[in-house]
Each structure stands twice: as C-alpha cells, then as structure tokens.
Structure 1
C-alpha cells in the first residue's frame, strides 16, 4: 500500500478490506501502554518484518556503498538497529496525541530556536528540513507543543479509506497537513506566506533532480525546498529528532540548527545534505538505510 498523490486515491472493496485489517492491527497495538509500543514494534520489525520485506539486503547494499570496509559484525548490528528504528518510528507516528504528549518536553538543542521565534514574531515563514533520521516527527510534535504550530507535507496512501485514518492520526501531532499534489502545495505556500512553519524531508531520490554529494556519493536531491525559501523569503532550518539512547531508545533530543544562508538552490541544498550527513555519520543506526538513496 504505497503513498501517492491525493488525486489518485482508491476506494474499492479490496481497499476497504485492507483498511479493516490494518486498522485492526494498529488498533490492537495502540491498546498497549504507550511506553511498550515503540520497543515492541521495533523488535517485531527487526526480527520478523524486516527479513520478510528484504530490508537486510537493501541496508547491506547501501552500507557497502558508503562504508565498504565496515566489519561484518557492525553490518549485522546496523541491520538490526535500523530495522528496529523503522518499526518504532512507525508506531510512534501512528500514536498521534500519545506520541506528542510523550515527546513534548524533549530538550531542544542547537542554536536555531531563537531564529525560529524571531521569524514567527516578524511573520516570516519557515521551512524545517529533516530526513528519515531518528523520528522525523519529533520536531513537529515538540515545536507545536511549545506554541509554534508546524504543518507537514505528506504523501497520501493509495488506499483512500486508510489515508483518511492516517491523516487524522498525524494531525494529532500537529496541523495543518498538506497532501502532495497541486492543491496541497498551493495550500502549503499560502500557509508559509502567512508566516507558518512547515516540515519537509529531503533524503529520498527524486527523478530528474541534480546529483549532489551525500555520504560521499552523488545522490539525486530535490532543490525545491531551497527554491521555495528563495522565492518567498522563507527561513530554511535543518531540524532532527534524535533518539537519546540510540536506535532502540524511546527518548529524544530536538536539534534545531542555525538557518541555512540564502544563496542559490544548489548551494543551499548541498548545505542541507551536509547537515543531515553529519547526523548520519555520528549516529548511523538512526538513519533509514532501507531507502534506495543512490539509484544507479
């Protein structure tokens, strides 16, 4: 069940039945106390789901590109921890209001928070840029809890029934939510021009985008965030929700870095890649090595 543009949602019988099954599974896990959900879902993902889905092979291939001399024992450790983090993040995001409450008091590190507050006071829009690192919704949850509402651009799921549930759940973390597509992008731009904050992820390969350095390899990276910042005078700020006890931890630090200076789209996007790269190299077990980041 893959995400896609909001104008291609499906509402057939198979979609309805699939939605019932997924809702039942997620609902069953959400009956557990919040503190148990993340470790349990992470463990099940690492031990059961990841091998069935082929995650170990993808992780191993990506690690070989970036760290060709990594010892086999460390590769095995990272496969387990990356898969654990993926499963934990999934159920945390699906926990909506419970997740927001659990992370609301996370420490805010870095030198960028003052810049965010100053931008809000003068009515300047802000793009918060992150990647699939730690839990990417921590910035939205923490900042919204501090009185700085953060919207998000997301990919709707093909299954229209499940997408409605997913959108409602992630809206409990922060609003507004903008589905990818012409209408969603137009709404997001209007929100930003009114001084809003929006979170975006930039670490997936986007066709026909320039190949920019990331972890020592050229990776297709969309420059759209930098282009929006330049066109509408937005602050461009790297942010990360880093787990405090590694990939299996349930606590977080919110890292808000200094804004990326305005120059040109390529230079600014390279700076965003370099920022995320520093986080990944310091905490490789918290990045989603499952993605096909370097498509050949």
Structure 2
C-alpha cells in the first residue's frame, strides 16, 4: 500500500493552530460553565473580526435577508460567532459536554424510527447542519446506547484537524473522513446496521445545484445516495441551544421518504432552512454556502 504523502508545511496554518490550541488549552482549565460563554465571547469579539467572519456574515445576510434592519445585522455579527465559539469549546470538553447532551430533552417522531431500526438492524443516515451544536445529537444518542458513527470533512489546516478529530473521537467513534480514505469503513459500518451521522450544509464543488433559502447552493447528495443504495433511513436531527447558552433541546424528526437523491436532499435543505428561520443566530452564517 502506498504511504500517504505528508502535507506540505504551511507557516500560516502552523501559527493559526498554535494560537487556537493555546487558547483552547487555557479555556479547558476553567470550569465548564465559565469556559463555554468565555469562548463564545472571544470568538464574537476578537476572532470573528480578525478572521473576516463579520464580512462573510454580513454578505450572507444581505443575500438572504436584504431588508434586515442594520441593528439586527449588528446583533447577528456578535451572536453567530458566539454560538460558533461555544460549539468549538464544547466539542473539546469531553465528559461535561456529553453530560449536557444526555440531560437534554430528546423528542420527535424520529426516535421511534431509530428504536425500530436498532431492533431490526436497519442502517440509518442521521443528518444535521452547522446549527446549534451539530454534534450534541450524536453525543446524546451514543450516551443512550445507540451505535453512531460520524462522517467528517477534514479541515484545510491539517495541524488543527489532527487534534480536532481527536477531540470529537472522545465523544464517540467510529469516525470516517470524507473521500476515499474513509469510504470502506463507512460502508461496512452502514451494512452492519450502524447509524452514520452527517453534517450536510456546506458548499460542495462536486455537489448539485439545489435551493437553500431560495438561492442556488451546491449541495452534496451523499446522505440520500447512501440511504438509497443501502436501504437506510434518513433522519434529520438538530440540537437547539437554549437561552442559558449551555443546554440543548434535541429534535429527532421523522425520516425523509425515499424518492430520488435530488428530491430527498432538497427536502433536507428545506427542513434545515425551516429550523434556521426559527433560530437565525444559531446557524453558521460564516460559511461560504452560496459559492455558486
């Protein structure tokens, strides 16, 4: 077998990782109920302006909500990265985060579908978006005894990616990298009746043009294609952050009916959009979602 090539050294990525890893280490030394809001504040007030997130959030909101009042835009410029920061440190927090996820109320018609799938050995593709905390549903289901794996998209910063994957592995395994590297293990896991978690709301160059908030967005068909090929349920789920900023309400919704991959994926886009509209500041508006 050919040995994978080592990534080319990039000083900017190495320095970014050095700063972020140092910050995460300092925050992890604090009690959980302090570190989460503090990381949110740091992302909102320091990292977002420096990283260009403010401009991206503003541009995305101008595209989707051109009539949004300036006061609300300014609120979103702080609220969106606050949720991102909270999510980052939660994913690194291990046991305290898992305890919060397990304590969260979990409800919705999809729960009965998951129980039935577990009893019959039918595979499930569990789909969420970068909304609330996108890994809280996986953490809560694993803590409740479900066998949930995760498909993740490796980050361009390989130095940060290494310890990020280690952090989310502490929430639960197996994890599968998108692409050829993780494909064989992922397929085997599904065939064995596992639940595969997918976060499916980022721009994908090799996706298809579907609608999200009424605009063309290149969207991966992978969740629907896997479900159709391996007769898996497609179950949407979202962990909505509560007013105290620490707790969640977890929805496991009814399975998406099997039709075509495009129709099923559009249904997933519509489903996520409806929930984002109810909690606008909990979606990651920092992404280049409409890069068509």
The answer to whether the superposition gives a TM-score over 0.5 is yes
Task: Please classify the TM superposition score into its range, dividing by the shorter chain length.
Answer: over 0.9
Deviations along 1:102-153, one digit per CA (max 9) or x if unpaired, are 2211101221100001001100111110110000001111000111131111
2:69 is aligned with 1:74: no
Say yes or no: does 1:95 pair with 2:100.
no
Alpha carbons 1:153, 1:178 under 8 Å: kept: yes
- Structure 2 partner of 1:10: 7
Query: In the alignment, does 2:256 pair up with 1:256?
Result: no
Partner of residue 198, structure 2: 200
Q: Is the 2:235–2:256 Cα contact (8 Å) retained in structure 1?
A: yes
Q: In the alignment, is residue 189 of structure 1 matched against residue 187 of structure 2?
A: yes
Structure 2 regions of 5+ residues with no counterpart?
A: none
Residues 24-67 of structure 1: per-residue CA shift (max 9 Å, x gap): 33221101111111100000111111111111111111111111
CA distance in structure 1 between the aligned counterparts of 2:281 and 2:10, rounded to whole angstroms: 39
Asked if 2 retains the 8 angstrom alpha-carbon contact of 1:93 and 1:170, the reply is yes
| Pairing 1:30-49 to 2, within 5 Å after superposition | 30-49=28-47
Q: Is the 8 A contact 2:152 2:199 kept in 1?
A: no
Residues 149 and 174, structure 1, Cα contact 8 Å, conserved in 2: no
Q: What corresponds to 1:268 in structure 2?
A: 264
Q: What is the RMSD computed on CA atoms of the aligned residues? A: 2.1
Q: TM-score, normalised by structure 2?
A: 0.92
In structure 1, stretches of 5+ residues that fail to align are: 1-5
Structure 2 distance, partners of 1:137, 1:294, is 23
Structure 1 CA distance, aligned partners of 2:10 and 2:50? 26
What's the offset of the Cα at 1:261?
0.5
Measured after TM superposition, the shift of residue 11 of structure 1 is: 7.9
Q: CA deviation at 1:158?
A: 5.2
Q: Give SS of 2:242's match.
A: strand
Alignment check: 8 A CA contact 2:100 2:248 kept:
no
**In the TM superposition, what are the counterparts of 1:1-296 in structure 2 within 5 Å?**
7=4, 9-10=6-7, 22-157=20-155, 162-245=160-243, 249-296=245-292
CA contact (8 A) 1:10 1:159 kept: no
Counterpart CA distance in 1 for 2:192 and 2:79 is 40
Q: Structure 2 vs 1, CA of residues 13 and 290 (structure 1 numbering), >3 Å: closer, same or farther? A: closer
User: How many residue pairs align between the two structures?
Assistant: 289
Cα 1:59–1:18, aligned 2, differ >3 Å: closer, same or farther?
A: closer
The answer (yes or no) to whether the contact 2:202–2:288 under 8 Å persists in 1 is yes
Distance 2:191 2:53 in 1: 40
For 2:159 and 2:128, locate their aligned partners in 1 and report how far apart those are by CA, in whole Å: 28
Given the superposition, is the C-alpha separation of residues 13 and 112 from structure 1 closer, same or farther in structure 2, using an over 3 Å criterion? closer
Residues 160 and 56 from structure 1, CA distance in 2 versus in 1: closer, same or farther, beyond 3 angstroms?
closer
Query: What CA distance in whole angstroms lies between the structure 2 residues aligned with 1:9 and 1:241?
Result: 36
